[in-house]
Structure formats: structure tokens, C-alpha cells
A and B are shown apart, each in its own frame.
Chain A
């Protein structure tokens, strides 16, 4: 494992085209399933009437009226789509939790061939799903408590502090900025903690969710500012890319068939932005995590029970030295036991 800068690692992660495609494909399928209940209604309203023509040409008078009529007349289909979107979103969250295991297992490790990496990815996804689910529950709980408390506290305070202040007064403005900056900081910090807790499985295969959070808390000390910076960087990049692709797709007004095909291709690209940014952010976060993980703690891959085919490759790295327990390091106390049946570390 080469130690690289967090941002470089993020950019390097972008080369994982298949992973990005997989995530994009999942989001596309879920989006398509969500929209499916609307398909007959859209065909009826837009393909079967002049409304579609007005809409695609953005007729100044007729298009808005007909869109709103569609909204009203096809309310049942829209309600159906909304329901399916809800379920698809839930499924999407679970998929994300699932894929995180594979990402943690394989990203930033240059030890796998493509075939091995694929196998390790799926194995990691399966193996860490339960752990990641628990981590998500903890993250959601922490976020709800911390953000809820912060917003409630500041809301109550604001009522007292600004009871007689007019709207948009300087005090109110500064207060609002403070509230949201801190809220974002809380969310960012918890996200970093959550990512580190999941990354804990990178080297400590049996670590539990609570222990992983404790470990993440300790391990992210001194790294939080950098970590937040990295997350912010990729968020900004993603937002900018989304804006650009979205604007390009939105601005394309030509109603011809080929133009619509190009438009749909742009939408696909739009959907790939977030997966790419997330993979890059994972790359950066894992690089930070790896850098903070004492080398001695990194278990050899062969000992991790990952069903990768190493026959003939002969290049799976083995730890050269047994992990040393650092004196006075309590983190070591809650080390999990390696999975049964696996050989002890060499």
C-alpha cells in the first residue's frame, strides 16, 4: 500500500470506472423504476396530445397550463410515482450501505488484479453489510441527536435574542450563518466519523460497530480538519459538475429525435456525477484513514478470509512483521478476534 495524499488518492479512485458505472447503473435503475408509474400517463398526455409539442417547444402560453393540468389530471399516477420513489430511495440507501463494504475492502489497494478486485468487492460488500448497517443506524442516531439539539437550542436562543430585532437585521443574519455553518460542521464531522468507522473494517475485519466508532473517534483526532476539507472539496467539485451538466441538459431545447437522444445521454452523465464524486471522496477518506492506521495493525489480506483467487499471481503482499502492540495504547484492547479457522498473523 503506497501512502499518497488524500486528494491524489481521490483522483486515483476516479479510475475505478466499473465501480462508478455500477453505482450509476443502480441509481438509473432505481430512478427508472420510480418513474415507471408515470410512463402511461405521460404517453397519454404528451405523446397523444398537442401538450407534448407545446411542452418540448416551451410554448409561453400553453405549456405551463398543460403541465399544471397534467399535475392535476394525472394526480393518481403522480402519487404512484411518489410512492415508488420513496421505496426506491430506501432501497438505494440499503444499496449504498451494501456497496460501502466492498469499497472499503478494495479501494486504494493496488494489490488486486481486476478480477480479484471484483471478487473482493462483492465479498467485502457481503461481509461488512451488517456492520455498515449498524454504523448507519449509529450515524443516523448521532446526527439526529446532535443536529436536533443544536437547531433546537439555537432556535430557542434566537427567539429570546432577536425578539425585537427586525427581519434581516445584521444580528439575525450573522446568527443564521453561524447556525448553519456549525450544523454543516456537525454533519461533516459525523460523516467523517461514520466513514472512518466503516473503514475500520479495512484492517480489522471483525470489529463491531460501537468499537469501530470509538476507534474512528480516536483515529480521526488531528485529522478532522483535513477530513472535512477533503469532504468539502469533493462536495464542491460534485456540485459544480452537477450544475454544469444539468445546465447543459436543461438548456438543450431542440425538439428533434436525435437532440432528445443527446439530452438523455446528458442525463446519464448527470447521474454519474454523484457516484464519481462519492468514489473519489471514499478514496480520499480511505487514504487518510490508512495514513492514520499504524502499519503494524494492518492485517495481511490473506488472513482476512476474502475469497480471492491468488493462484498463479503470487503477489499478495504479506505482512513482514507481526503487529506490535503499542505500549499503553488502549485501542488495542478491544481488538476483535480474527475469524475462526484463519491462521494467526505471520
Chain B
């Protein structure tokens, strides 16, 4: 069924491409693979005193390939926090997001498999071994290989019964506990992904089960989860999926959660949570103008973009009650934007966890139908009410329900496909909802937008890596961050500006719909975009995603001078005339009529692209009389000199005056101001330089005065 759909899509893609039009989006969405590759049934019990989770896991694994599979591989992620010899600890130096691991004995975490048997009851634990698939550290214990007594047949299945014990670490790298708050992620033995030949351009089938690295996240197969969690009854629990039952036994309560077509399961338990439950109602929560805009960009009838109601469960810290509107706003914007532009959120529930401020190491994380936000109390108060970090993190983490949640790319190997594409969607949704200064708006007109922050981070980062790298292969942690997040946001903004919003939106939706509940690669992304847009995007792929190309158009020089008036012999109107400084020879003689030639200015502007990415730009020359001259600068040109004769002095010249080239590394050199003009030519740079120098001096003096106060 999948193969037939793919063929049909390719055929339609060819027709649209041949017709030179972007494919209308929203056709032939991929459906989840059924029966799923994995089915987990887990019974787990939390001891909040020791912060230990003991569990029993029944795993059904279905071989998705035509290979005989004689070994299983499992992620034991919690062992990354077992000691300071793990690959994760070595790479991170024991710190992540400001948290430091291993300062106390209780900081460490680990997962132990107590028993591992197949369906026939044969013990598999004795023959299992820890392996180092990435040549990672010898002491690393995050990947377990389990040889099977008999291989799993192609399309066949195996059942495994596993007993495990997970000691949670003190909150570190997305998981753990602080006081009675528990965020339980990557806590159970999770099978790796067996990639059949052809998947992600793989030549032969095999396991993809990487060690847990400091800069990497996860990769798993889609499946069904049925998890029962036993906790003290005073604890409030939130988890992936739908809660289907709640059973109280003595002072403990068991909660059962089920969810289909997801690739992970996480949960939280804390007696302090303030629970707020509500529904996202599309008829109320989706702005009609957004629907109209999405419909126009996607070329779809608005009726086909209908979203579904979603049950939201917001688990707030008591001291963050005031942050509730910010969380709700983030969820509302996210469900509406992602739903309209990519497709309706397919699950019934969404749980949003607000971590405590001493547990922010678990903030900003995504699991299927379950995300952690993150806030601090001052963000809900003046003057930071419009510093939208809470909305931003909520929106971003929700976006991962789509990118990696449904687009199951390999976060270890191609982090840009989930973090980057999601970051781009986050920027667009933030901008749509909150305007140009979507990220921070402070009293007094100070503010900044997400894309400006991305530009700054990107331009400030040493250009050491391409966007695409294995997550642990980047030169530095910040290089991983910038390349996986911000640079992709800028690259996608550039692509959107170059393709146009309609073509871009349709291509992205086509990619999304084609690869939902699958495992796409970078090649699949470009393939989908090229097919939908009908354009060759190889220069974006090879030079930006696989390369380190920079773009920096600038105005190198600009001058505007009185053009020399004509002097000499000129053949005009069939007759030869002699001109002296624009006047006919002899006209200066006594008694001759004075006839002045009109003033002419010669303006010469030199533009150059000093980056190494050949890409065009728009140029604009504005004269003091308000006249505007626009020109296109060729992508192939290293430099372009424009010479314009006019009756007015040049006021300013600029390249890319509307900031269409999101990839441009430096905005400060994009213009030169020569004079003062009217209307469009009016600039106040001179006044600005005085004003801001004065402000700098005044602020310096004020700071000094503050020091004076101590003397």
C-alpha cells in the first residue's frame, strides 16, 4: 500500500513539475504503519523516596525488513548518567544547559536490566553485551546488544519480557528528579531502529542504535504503548497518551495510559502540580485570517484545513500559576499554526509540564503528546510580561510533535531535520502571532524578533561546520546548536523568500504529508521539495546544508558627483556643434543668450558579494529628489558597479533593502548614505549617530556615578 502511494505521488509530482506549477498540498498523506514495528506494555512503579522506577516491559518487535535479524539492540539511555566515564559525560564535561552532574552521590542515575527473556522463556540476558556503535567510550553502557537464539524472520515478530530498574538522576539533561518532582524520560529499555535497505538511502539493512551523546537526542520506531504507572496517591501524574484507567490500592494509585503511533513514552509525577485541564477548540481558537492565509498559501479550500479539538492537560508549579495564560497562548498558537500549515494534530491529548525552577534541566523537552515547557516567575510580571520565552518554548516543543514526533527523522545523524525545520516553523508561527518583535517586547520600544536572534547567533558563530553533521561530530556545542537550530531557520527563511511563500508552503506540506510516521533523510527532504516546487535546489543542499557557504552582499563604495558637462565636437541633428561646458561655443560671448544646461549628477555605486555563496540580491538607489532606482544583482557576479546619471544627488544606496536574503551575514554593510533627501530619500543617520553617542556617554557616566556612590 505504501509502495503504491509512493508511485502515484511520483507520477503526480512529475506531472506538476512538468506543468511548471507547485503541487497543491495536502494530498495522499501517509498513514501510520500498521501493525506497528513496536508494541510496548509496561508496568512501572515509582518509589519517590529513592527515586527508583522498577518495571516490567513486554515488547513485541516486528521485523520491518526482508532480512533475517539475529540480534536486537537496545538503548539504555539512563546509563549516560551512571558515572563520569560515559560518552555523554565525557562529551558534555558533566554539564548541560547550566546543570552540573555528579556533584553529589544522589546525582547519578542508571538503568539495570534484571531479566530479559524471549516469549519462550529463554534467558537472553546472559549473552547480551554492551556495545560501542560509534566507537564511543569503553566504559559507555548506553547500548545493549542481545543475540537471539533464533533470528527473527522477514516481517516476522518477536516477543521479549524485560524486568528493569531505573535509578533516576538528579535533574540533568531532560530527565530525573528534584525534591518530589520527577520527570521520567528515557527510562525504559528501548529498542533501536532496524533500518531496511533503502530506508534513508541505506544500502543494506541493519540496526541504527547510537550511544547517547551529549549533543544528540533520539531515534526510535513508531509503535503502540500501553503503560501502567503506580505512584503514591498524593502524586499528580501526567504522561504520554490517553489516561484510560485509574485504580487506587491503599496509599498508591495506578494510572494506565495508552497511545498508538508514537515512538516514545515519558511521564511526570509531583504532588505539587496544579492541574489545569481544558480543550483546544478550533472554532474558537483558530483565527479565521490564519485559515484564509494557510488556504491561500497551500492552494487548498479552507474547509480541508479543519482541525480537531484536543484535550490539554497543563501541569503547573504552584508558584507559576500566573504563567498559565502564557502556556495557553503558546499551545493555542502552536496547535493552530502547525495544524493549518502541516496537517491537523492527530492525537487526542497533549500534556504540558511546567518544571520547577530548580529543575529547569528538564525544561524544553518533547515527547509524544507530552512536552515540558519552562518559565521563571518574573516572566509573568511587568516589565517582562511580553518577554515571550514561555510561549516560545511551549510552541517549539509542541512543534516537535510534528518534526520528529511524526516526521521520525534520525536526531542522532540529522538533527537539522527535526530541530531546524521545527525552529523555522517556530519562527514563522511566532512572527504570525506576535509580529516583528515576537520574542521580546519591553516597555520603551525595546524588543527583538526570533529571526533577528537567529541572525546574530549565526553570524557570531565561527563557521566551522555545515548544517548537516552527526550530532556529536560538530566542532563545539555551540556549533551544534547554531547549525541545528538557528542556521536552519535562516536557510528556510531564505528558501521561502526565493521560492515564494506559496511554493514553499506547498512543498513543505508535501514533505510532511509524504513522510509522516516514517523516517526521512536529508535527501528525502530535498527530493520532496524539488518535486513539489519544480526547481533544482542543489545549490542550497550542497552549499548550505552540506557546506559552509556564506552570503555577504555589501555596498563597497558609493559616490555622486556633478557630471562633467559636454565639451568638444558633437554631431547632433545632422550638424556638428561645438560645445564648451555644455554650451554652444561662443554662447559665452558678450550679447549671446545665456542658456544653462541642466545639472547632471553621476552616481557610481559598487556592490559586492564577499561571501562564497553565489546568490543574487536586489539593489536600490534613492536620490535626493525622491527618485528610486531598483536593479537586480546577478547571483554569478562577485561585484557589480552601477553608474546612474540623474538630475539629483544620490541620497543613499542599499543592497537587499528589504532584507530578503535571510542568509546574508552582515546587515551593517548593506547601505551607504551620501546625503539628505526628501520622502523615501530622507535619512536621519546623522542625528542618530549624535543621539546614540550621547546616550552611550550618558550611560557610561551613569554607571560611573553608580560607582561614585560607593566612594
Contacts and interface: CB of A to CB of B under 8 A. Distances in A.
Interface of A: 27-28, 30-32, 34-35, 38-39, 42-43, 45-53, 55-58, 60-62, 64-66, 68-70, 72-73, 81, 85, 88-89, 92-93, 96-97, 136, 140, 143, 164, 166-169, 247, 250-251, 253, 255-257, 259-260, 263-264, 267, 270-271, 274-275, 278
Contacts of A31: 697-702, 704
Given A42-B693, A69-B455, 4 more contacts: A48-B672, A50-B685, A264-B691, A270-B702
B273 to A, nearest CB: 12
A85 B704 contact: yes
Interface string B427-460: 0000000011100000011011100100110011
Nearest to B698: A267
Given A51-B667, A51-B685, A93-B711, A166 B700 contact: no
Contacts of B668: 45, 49, 51, 66, 69-70, 73
Given A42-B692, A57-B684, A263-B691, A64 B449 contact: yes
A46 B672 CA distance: 10
9 contacts: A32-B697, A35-B693, A50-B670, A66-B667, A68-B452, A85-B704, A167-B358, A264-B691, A274-B709
B382 interface: no
A274 B705 contact: yes
Contact of B689 (A47, A64, A93, A136): A47
Contacts of A58: 445
A89 B690 contact: no
B504 to A, nearest CB: 19
A70 B659 CA distance: 16
Contact of A35 (B455, B700, B710): B700
Max chain B C-beta neighbours (<10 A), residue from A49, A247, A263: A49
A50 B686 contact: no
A136 B669 CA distance: 48
Given A64-B448, A65-B667, A271 B689 contact: no
Interface of B: 179, 272, 317-319, 356-358, 377, 435-437, 444-445, 447-449, 452, 455-456, 459-460, 652, 654, 657, 659, 666-673, 683-705, 707-711
B711 A48 contact: no
Contacts of B652: 50
A195 to B, nearest CB: 11
Given A50-B654, A60-B436, A255-B684, A267 B695 contact: yes
B693 A93 contact: no
B331 to A, nearest CB: 23
Contacts of B710: 93, 140, 143
Contacts of B702: 31, 270-271, 274
B685 A69 contact: no
B701 A65 contact: no
Nearest to B693: A42
B475 to A, nearest CB: 19
A245 to B, nearest CB: 10
Contacts of B657: 50
Max chain B C-beta neighbours (<10 A), residue from A66, A143, A166: A166
Contacts of A140: 710
Contacts of B444: 247, 250-251
Contacts of A48: 672-673, 685
A179 to B, nearest CB: 18
A72 B693 CA distance: 17
Given A35-B697, A65-B456, A264-B694, A89 B688 contact: no
Given A34-B697, A270-B698, A47 B688 contact: yes
Nearest to A62: B659
A252 to B, nearest CB: 9
A45 to B, nearest CB: 6
A47 B686 contact: yes
Given A52-B685, A69-B668, A61 B659 contact: yes
Nearest to A82: B700
